[in-house]
Structure 1
Amino acid sequence: MSKKALIVIDIQNDYFENGAIELVKPVEASLKARKVIDFFRENNLPIVHIQHLSADPNMPIFVPGTFGSEIHENVKPLEGEKVIQKYYPNSFRETDLLDYLKSNAITEVVITGMMTHMCVDSTTRAAKDLGFDCTVIGDACASRDLEINGKTVKAEDVHNAFLSALTFFYAKVQNTGEFLSA
């Protein structure tokens, strides 16, 4: 029997309006993530909140101790919920995430968070490589416009490209409604 845990990645103030690196539609994504969090809370299932902190004091994002580095109020952890601080996009790198999941006999992870193309992607791929079944809640994630060779790739296209790539092998991708009604 599979045992699920929810991983909420980097839904922090710096990604919202007036933050250091505002994403496209972060509020909408955070509210969808909150619905999934509420489901896990109501069903007494483990939730892991991931908080990205900058290891480089010259980086203008996720500076430890700043408002921008705090987890957003829409998804604030409750007393007793696991919070893991990380310094790299992959939530498993140099953290106790793997040990926590293994010690709780978790076999399946459900993933929400910021940024689809970076931390959500790298964490999902690592989780699958480590043997977990993965579900990404696509509308509970957000991205931003990216640029390559002088061309702008719109956030929606970035988001959809990364989610579609994950569906090939790494994860089942669902929206919040699909997940909650399953």
Structure 2
Amino acid sequence: MSKKALIIIDIQNDYFENGAIELVNPIEASLKARAVLDSFREKNLPIVHIQHLSADPVNMPIFVPGTFGSEIHENVKPLEGEQVIQKYYPNSFRETALLDYLKENEITELVITGMMTHMCIDATTRAAFDFGFTCTVIGDACASRDLEIDGKTVKAEDAHNAFLSALTFFYAKVENADAFLSA
């Protein structure tokens, strides 16, 4: 029998308006993540909040430990007893206790939400699949930003959709929050 956990990745203040690295539509994504979070809380299912911290605040002045920007956003604030795991890399498994926590709690299925679709969501989902987890990414509970390559801008919506479509090809089922919650 599968056992499911919710993973909420990096929904932190620096990604919101006036933050150090503002994303496109972070409020909307955080509210969708909140709806999924509320469902997991109601069912008393495991919840893991991932919090990215800068390992090098001089060269990476976002998520600086102890700052407002590094705090988990109020829309998905952890409750007492909910697991919070801090990380320093895009992949939430790298040099963290996440894998041990999931194994100890016999989790086999992950529901993934958070920031940034093209970076931490992608890296964590691929790693989770490679560790043997069945993954569902709640696409509208994730957010991205405009990216640049060779002087060209890739709009946030296009980056978001490209990364989700790549994940759904092999690594994860991608659903929107309403469909997931009504299933």
Shorter-normalised TM-score: what interval?
A: over 0.9
Residue 167 (structure 1) aligned with residue 160 (structure 2)? no
Whole-angstrom CA distance in 1 between matches of 2:35 and 2:152: 35
Show structure 1 runs of 4+ deviating over 4 A: none
**Match of residue 158 from structure 1:** 159
Deviations along 1:37-89, one digit per CA (max 9) or x if unpaired, are 00000000000000000000212100000000000000000000000000000
State the SS of the aligned residue for 2:75.
Answer: helix
Structure 1 residue runs without a partner (length 5+):
none
Matched letter for residue 62 of structure 2 = I
Which residue identity lines up with residue 149 of structure 1 in the other structure?
A: D
Instruction: Give the 3-state SS of the residue equivalent to 1:22 in structure 2.
Output: coil
Aligned counterparts, 1:86-101, within 5 A:
86-101=87-102
Q: Partners in 1 of 2:57 and 2:34 — Cα distance?
A: 31
The separation in 2 between residues aligned to 1:2 and 1:23, in whole angstroms, is 34
1:12 aligns with 2:12: yes
User: Where does structure 2 lack aligned partners over 5 or more consecutive residues?
Assistant: none
Secondary structure at the aligned position of 1:102 is classed as helix
Q: What is the distance in 2 between the residues matched to 1:149 and 1:158?
A: 15
Q: Which residue of 1 aligns with 2:83?
A: 82
Matches within 5 A, 1:63-82: 63-82=64-83
Corresponding residue of 1:55: 55
- The separation in 2 between residues aligned to 1:103 and 1:46, in whole angstroms, is 12
TM-score normalised by structure 1 residue count: 1.00
Q: Secondary structure at the match of 1:24?
A: coil
What's the TM-score, normalizing by structure 2? 0.99
1:119 aligns with 2:153: no
Q: Give the letter for the 1:131 counterpart.
A: G
Whichever residue aligns with residue 180 of structure 1, its letter is L
Q: Whole-Å Cα distance in 2 between the matches of residues 57 and 75 of structure 1?
A: 24
RMSD: 0.4
* 2:43 alignment partner AA: N
In 2, the alpha carbon distance for the partners of 1:85 and 1:60 equals 17
The one-letter amino acid of 1:34's match is R
